[in-house]
Amino acid sequence: MQAGFSYFDKSTPEVAIRSIFDRYDTDKKGKLQDNEMQNLLQKDLGLSDEQAEIYFRLLDKNGDHNISFEEFHDWLRSGEHFEVLNDEEKFHSLLKAFSYFKQFDTDNSDKLDREQFERMMNYFGYSAINMDEAFANMDKCKTGALTFWEFMVWLKWVPVLN
Ligand SMILES: [Ca+2]
Ligand SMILES: [Ca+2]
């Protein structure tokens, strides 16, 4: 079974989500990594390289470079209809946010550690806040680092996930 846009619905049954996930998890390790997500996002859903790259990071909430079943499940159930891809202005903002994020991700880990976070906050003019508290609040997945998804949640700019 191939995934299509019709699967992105809040009422998609659990068993259907599981079967799509398993279909793309070709090495059967219980996670979707880069090449497996490419099959879904680019080959089957027709996203461009750039779109697929951004989507991967938005879906990878905890930033471990794998899409877990839980992350995948949240995405399909979010009822998203890829509006951001059809809205040039929105996609442009998303790219801009991503380039800010990467600018402070100086070790290219796709996450901001506490120090990188503080540099970013200073850049955005938040130097007077309690950095430890703000960092803890933004670190939703409690991994000790901020992922792009957490950054987007903070900006209240998460078009992909609920
Ligand atoms: Ca896999
Ligand atoms: Ca993940």
Between CA 27 and CA 126 the distance in angstroms is: 44
Distance from residue 131's CA to the centre of ligand 2 (Å): 25
Does residue 106 surpass a pLDDT of 80? yes
Distance from residue 19's CA to the centre of ligand 1 (Å): 13
pLDDT tens for 36-69 read: 999 999 999 999 999 999 999 999 999 999 999 9
Distance from residue 66's CA to the centre of ligand 1 (Å): 8
Q: Which ligand is nearest to the CA of 36?
A: 1
Q: Average of pLDDT values for 18-37? A: 97
Between CA 51 and CA 114 the distance in angstroms is: 28
pLDDT tens for 64-95 read: 999 999 999 998 888 777 878 888 888 888 89
Q: Which amino acid is at 162?
A: N
pTM comes to: 0.85
Name the pairing type of β-strands 111-112 and 67-68.
unpaired
Residue 146: exposure state from Cβ atoms within 10 A (0-12, 13-18, ≥19): buried
